[in-house]
Structure 1
Amino acid sequence: MTVRLLHTADWQIGKLFGQFEPDQAALLAEARFKAVERLAALASEEALDLVLVAGDVFDAQGVADRTIHRLFNALAGFSGRWVMLPGNHDAALSESVWTRAARLHAIPDKVSLCLAPEPLLLEELGVAILPAPLTQRNTFDDLSEWFVSAETPPGMLRIGLAHGSVRGILAEAIDSANPIAAGRAEQAALDYLALGDWHGSRQVDARSWYSGTPESDRFRANQSGQALLVELTEPRALPTVRPLRTGRHRWRSEALTLQVPSDIEQALQRIAGFSTDEVVQLSLSGQTDLAGHRRLRKAIGQAEGRVHSLLSDFSALRLEPTADDIDALQADGYLGEVIDELRSQQQGGQGEVAREALTLLAGILDERRRDTGSGSKAGSDAESCMESKAASKANTTGAL
């Protein structure tokens, strides 16, 4: 008797991705449906017996009816049995996304929902599923404890299905909701324990694994974007577990520090290396002159049109205009006098304040010069706005 199954979790269908622009967020949300379709195709190609989903099928209880229908339609590529467990995002409340799905008649016959802590016997496969469904978002009781005393027919494989944090993995100072005892698989004589909640694949012990989410959704190097192909040959034999790549998008976090001119060249090379299916979080720190700043902005603009999504953070990057930068701004009249005054004051007791004011003003004037050069109405509107900002800042620095 050999049972081959796919272990997956944390689909979080309906996730909003509010940190991204609306069009990018919509594509990331769509990618989660595509990931489920890939799981179904994979299960069919591998001729698997079963797919286990260890919680957080949905990201929230209030997802749209259309989202519910789309999710269950995405399962069409695999005709075998799907077993789903409520997690903390889609807990089995008295009124939940699951009860709504039932009223919508959206749940196919091939899907078994584990809404209560009782064995699910799949006699045709020789498998007994012991589920620990969450009936509220957070609990501090171990809902898998009943596995230990659960009776199942002799000769059937015992598979636990739970969603939460195995004790002893997180730092001692962290109180983790939805705990699961370490060693639960051995204590309950489980042949395999399929876990959800962690978004990266991770082996807990010889019989217990987190599958992670099938489509990455965070900037962490935690082996996400995978599912687990599990083979069980007979009761009490150790399972064979093989991670399978399922995710399309790679989430990548880059932190670039700029100090000397050569750092700009290296940063531009890194940015040019961002690829089509990547979701990138880019933070820049250190300092650069106006020319370097313009080159960075241009490279990032080009990358935004190439990668799937890009979040850039310039807040820790200081703009340090050179004397040539200032001369090139061609500020005359009142603003020219302000720039000259600020340049002279950088050497005095208020040098830091003067430098910050000069940097801000130089950046405003440089942006105004580029907008004006475009000859567009937007450039003209920007020029008027920049003049106002510059004059306000100049008045503020008059107290130096």
Structure 2
Amino acid sequence: MIHFLHTADWQIGARFGQFGAEEAALLGEARFEAVERIAALAAQRQVQAVLVAGDVFDQQTVSDRVIRRLFGALAGFSGPWIMIPGNHDAALAESVWTRAAALGCIPPNVQVCLRPTVIELGEGAVLAAPLTQRHTLDDVTAVFDDTATPAGMIRIGLSHGCVAERLPEGIDATNPIAADRCARASLDYLALGDWHGLFRVDERTWYSGTPETDRFTNNESGMLLEVRIAAPGSTPDVTPHRISRYRWQRWEETLSVPSDVERLVARLQPLGQGDVLMLRVEGGIDLGAWRSLERAIDETAARVRALRHDLGGLRFLPTDADLAALGARGGYLANAVARLRAEQEAGDPQERAAATEALLLLARFQQELEGRQ
């Protein structure tokens, strides 16, 4: 019997440029914390090894400090760690891995496979096929077909790439892996990285996904896999474990009446420090509803770990009372409000967005004037 954890796509050193500096730093820190939780789980479950299927690092140019911190985060599990490079940290002649070796920070219990390798592990043998370049049209796992292991050994493949015609449409077709590789190579299990969500190709071929969610996609990310295989030819017993600290969500909302805003505000209220939210809103609402929405977004941004919002598809549709208040001073202001209202109704998308923003600026200006009186 062999018992191990399968994980991948740690993406250590990811920068999260779509967020502010403070938010990005915290999201980056969470990736180190995820590795520490993996080490703790490995020790708790008393596994024989942790298999890491590529993209340990997000890029080749991470700092020496990041490299040292990553290997320090493994300290919670003293058993074997078996790692391979993926497309983000490919085993080039000069790479993040050669820098790590030069720094002397790779612990003795960590084996980094920079070339196709067989590692015996108790009753099993790990057949590792790393990427030695970022993109290839060759199937690096083809080497498994002719790789011999001692008789009676459980055969476990470890690689990084895209299983042909099994992942969702539009996925990069480079670094292809044959869907029937387990059958061709007599593998009992194939541990893969590259796809950032948990994905079962078949009963022997799995993607673990990234252990710390990093995208606004509904793909079962934030997991790792605990795998037991009783004997050669036995069906693997695969148990997912949630590791991710943060829950990333994408919300698409259409608002038409004040009650729509009230429902959205109520939905936002339970969110807290474990949430990362992308909010896109379209439709049309009056001034009171808009102010309620802006206040709710500001309050939510202060509670959650990170919030991105896009109100570009939302139009400001002032009521008669709103329009009267905006044009209350008459003259040029009233004429400007009328022109902006017309552009908001009849202009192209850019003009409508600009007119909406201008009307809101006028409304805020009017509110400030009222507050001073």
TM bucket normalised to smaller: over 0.9
Q: Structure 2 CA distance, aligned partners of 1:320 and 1:57?
A: 49
Change (3 A) 1:361 1:109: closer
Q: Structure 2 CA distance, aligned partners of 1:191 and 1:267?
A: 48
Q: Tell me if the contact between 2:199 and 2:209 (Cα under 8 Å) persists in the aligned partners.
A: yes
SS in 2 for 1:72: helix
Give the drift of 1:367. Answer: 2.0
SS in 2 for 1:305: helix
Q: Tell me if the contact between 1:339 and 1:358 (Cα under 8 Å) persists in the aligned partners.
A: no
Q: Tell me if the contact between 1:91 and 1:135 (Cα under 8 Å) persists in the aligned partners.
A: yes
After superposing the two structures, state which structure 1 stretch, 130-139 or 332-341, moved more.
332-341
Q: What do the CA deviations read for 1:149-195 (whole angstroms, capped 9, x no partner)? A: 10111122211001001112146776600000011111111111100
Task: Quote the residue 1:177 is aligned against.
Answer: 174
Q: Structure 1 CA distance, aligned partners of 2:369 and 2:18?
A: 31
Q: Structure 1 CA distance, aligned partners of 2:243 and 2:306?
A: 19
Q: Tell me if the contact between 2:164 and 2:177 (Cα under 8 Å) persists in the aligned partners.
A: yes
After superposing the two structures, state which structure 1 stretch, 134-143 or 326-335, moved more.
326-335
**Residue 1 of structure 2 corresponds to residue 7 of structure 1:** no
Q: Structure 1 CA distance, aligned partners of 2:241 and 2:170?
A: 33
Change (3 A) 1:351 1:150: closer
Q: Structure 1 CA distance, aligned partners of 2:77 and 2:100?
A: 20
Give the drift of 1:331. Answer: 4.9
Match of 1:249 among 222, 246, 250: 246
Paired residues, number: 369
RMSD: 2.3
Task: Quote the residue 2:339 is aligned against.
Answer: 342
Q: Structure 2 CA distance, aligned partners of 1:341 and 1:173?
A: 46
Match of 1:352 among 342, 346, 355: 346
Task: Quote the residue 2:26 is aligned against.
Answer: 27
Aligned pairs for 1:301-316 within 5 A? 301-316=298-313
Q: Structure 2 CA distance, aligned partners of 1:33 and 1:351?
A: 50
Change (3 A) 1:296 1:233: same
Aligned pairs for 1:1-400 within 5 A? 2-122=1-121, 125-170=122-167, 176-329=173-326, 331-332=328-329, 334-339=331-336, 342=339, 346=342, 352-353=346-347, 356=352, 359-371=356-368
Change (3 A) 1:288 1:179: same
Task: Quote the residue 1:398 is aligned against.
Answer: none
Q: Structure 2 CA distance, aligned partners of 1:109 and 1:44?
A: 17
Q: Structure 2 CA distance, aligned partners of 1:23 and 1:112?
A: 34
Give the drift of 1:274. Answer: 2.3
Letter in 2 for 1:304: A
Q: Tell me if the contact between 2:326 and 2:337 (Cα under 8 Å) persists in the aligned partners.
A: no
Q: Tell me if the contact between 1:14 and 1:67 (Cα under 8 Å) persists in the aligned partners.
A: yes
Q: Tell me if the contact between 1:321 and 1:359 (Cα under 8 Å) persists in the aligned partners.
A: no
Q: Tell me if the contact between 1:55 and 1:163 (Cα under 8 Å) persists in the aligned partners.
A: yes
Give the drift of 1:272. Answer: 1.8
- The percentage of counterpart residues that share the same residue type is 50
Q: Structure 1 CA distance, aligned partners of 2:370 and 2:65?
A: 48
Letter in 2 for 1:270: R
Letter in 2 for 1:251: W
Q: Structure 2 CA distance, aligned partners of 1:294 and 1:102?
A: 56
Change (3 A) 1:50 1:217: same
Q: Structure 2 CA distance, aligned partners of 1:86 and 1:76?
A: 20
Q: Tell me if the contact between 1:197 and 1:212 (Cα under 8 Å) persists in the aligned partners.
A: yes
Give the drift of 1:103. Answer: 0.2
